[in-house]
């Protein structure tokens, strides 16, 4: 297989495996056999390994030396910690962005903030997660801190499979509009508060559904002390 074809296969395998993990078709701690995946995707081993490395960087796959690759297991405590970290970073990013954002960046935010998720199909959720991640990345990028933007991008990757539980596309459109309006007004405190409100709402409904829905119980481990 040529280098260009392997690169194309890697992207396709990464996209399809990522979707299967986020949508719950592959369970936490499930072993991902490289040979089996290569057969299933009709590819060589190299693009499968590359795709798994990409998923490991996103926090969706854990690679254990001499054991193999597994879907990452996340405890309730770890999920809470991820949301706490997101709250701290996103609030700071929005406040800084309101003081630095350009008209061009505001126009781009308005373009991407309208993507919603109805919960009716997986493709709409793919679009929603991509655009939601893009929206928050753009806000962080507008803060002028590239490392902050990259960190938040990775954080959204790790949270993507839990955010599917909230079915919150329409509410996200509304909160994204509030954030964008505050940024356009160059109002740091309003931007910070709008972002805090969104993250808290997302956190609360996600944690509630994780704990209450039996259908979601496989997605997260029991609360355990450190």
The model's pLDDT over 6-56, given as tens digits with 9 standing for 90+, comes to 668 899 999 999 988 887 788 889 999 999 999 999 999 999 999 999 999
pTM: 0.79
Report the relative pairing of strands 31-32 and 68-71 from DSSP bridges: antiparallel
Topology of the domain covering 3-71: Arc Repressor Mutant, subunit A (1.10.10)
Both tokens of residue 84? 């706490």
Both tokens of residue 181? 């309006």
CA distances from residue 211 to 30, 54, 126, 160 in whole angstroms, order as listed: 21, 29, 24, 17
- Sheet with 61-64, strands from edge to edge, namely 31-32, 68-71, 61-64
Q: Where are the domains of the chain?
A: 3-71, 76-219
What pLDDT, in 10s, does the model give residues 177-202? 999 999 999 999 999 999 999 999 98
Say which CATH superfamily domain 76-219 falls into.
GntR ligand-binding domain-like (1.20.120.530)
């Amino acid at each position: 297989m040529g280098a260009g074809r392997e690169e194309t296969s890697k992207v396709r395998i990464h996209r399809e495996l990522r979707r299967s993990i986020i949508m719950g078709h592959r369970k936490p701690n499930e072993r991902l056999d490289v040979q089996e995946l290569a057969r299933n995707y009709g590819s060589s081993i190299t693009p499968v390994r590359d795709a798994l490395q990409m998923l490991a960087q996103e926090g969706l796959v854990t690679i254990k030396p001499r054991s193999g690759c597994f879907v990452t297991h996340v405890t309730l405590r770890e999920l809470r910690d991820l949301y706490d970290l997101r709250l701290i970073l996103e609030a700071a990013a929005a406040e800084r962005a309101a003081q630095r954002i350009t008209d061009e960046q505001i126009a781009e935010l308005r373009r991407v903030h309208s993507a919603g998720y109805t919960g009716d199909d997986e493709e709409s959720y793919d679009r929603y997660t991509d655009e939601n991640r893009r929206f928050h990345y753009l806000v962080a990028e507008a803060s002028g801190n590239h490392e902050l933007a990259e960190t938040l991008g990775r954080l959204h990757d790790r949270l993507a499979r839990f955010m599917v539980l909230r079915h919150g596309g329409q509410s996200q459109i509304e909160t994204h509009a509030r954030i964008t309006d505050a940024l356009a007004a160059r109002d740091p405190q309003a931007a910070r508060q709008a972002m805090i409100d969104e993250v808290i709402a997302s956190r609360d409904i996600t944690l509630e559904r994780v704990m209450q829905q039996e259908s979601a119980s496989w997605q997260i481990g029991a609360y355990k002390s450190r």
